[in-house]
Amino acid sequence: MVMQVPGLGRRAGFSLLEVLVVATILISVVGAAFGVYDRSVENARFQQSRAAQKTLQLAIDQYRARHNRYPTSLAILTRKYLNRIPDDPTTSYPGNDWLVCGPNDNPQSIGAWRPATSPPSDGIAAVRSSTEFK
């Protein structure tokens, strides 16, 4: 049964073109909103990573001030300076995947940074996220 609208003289409803235009507009709006959400989540992870990095650096500095030498591993810091080593939220898996640099290394050089699981023999002077070089 075809529905007639008084005064129009044709069927009520939407044409295929009208439906496609509306669908295209909705998809564009949802895509833009998802992009903004995705960037905000990435920014939050980055900020959380920076905060964890500053916490680790502060613990390293406190250890050096108290013992007059740099810690030989991040695990040593959990004894008095940290409850636990924070995870880096910018990486895809939890765990200790920080990069560390020794006191005699140049932190501006990419080659100076190594995984925290194999720290330099003269101790850990600086720490950074492993995603900063990707």
| pTM of the predicted model over 0.85 | no
Judge whether 9 lies within some domain.
Answer: no
Mean pLDDT of 51-67: 94
Judge whether 1 lies within some domain.
Answer: no
More confident residue, 95 or 77: 77
Element (H, E) at 31: helix 16-67
Least confident interval from 17-21, 38-42, 121-125, 129-133: 129-133
Residue 1 — very low, low, confident or very high, per pLDDT cuts 50/70/90?
Answer: low
Judge whether 39 lies within some domain.
Answer: yes
Least confident interval from 1-10, 15-24, 30-39: 1-10
Residue 21 — very low, low, confident or very high, per pLDDT cuts 50/70/90?
Answer: very high
Which domain does 40 fall in, by range?
16-133
Number of domains observed in the structure of the chain: 1
Judge whether 11 lies within some domain.
Answer: no
| Rounded CA separation 63/57 (Å) | 10
How far is residue 93 CA from its own chain's centroid?
11
How far is residue 21 CA from its own chain's centroid?
37
| Rounded CA separation 133/97 (Å) | 13
Residue 89 — very low, low, confident or very high, per pLDDT cuts 50/70/90?
Answer: confident
Judge whether 10 lies within some domain.
Answer: no
Judge whether 42 lies within some domain.
Answer: yes
Judge whether 73 lies within some domain.
Answer: yes
CB 63 within 8 A of CB 52: no
DSSP annotation of 130 reads: G
How confident is the prediction for the chain on average, in pLDDT?
Answer: 85
More confident residue, 65 or 109: 65
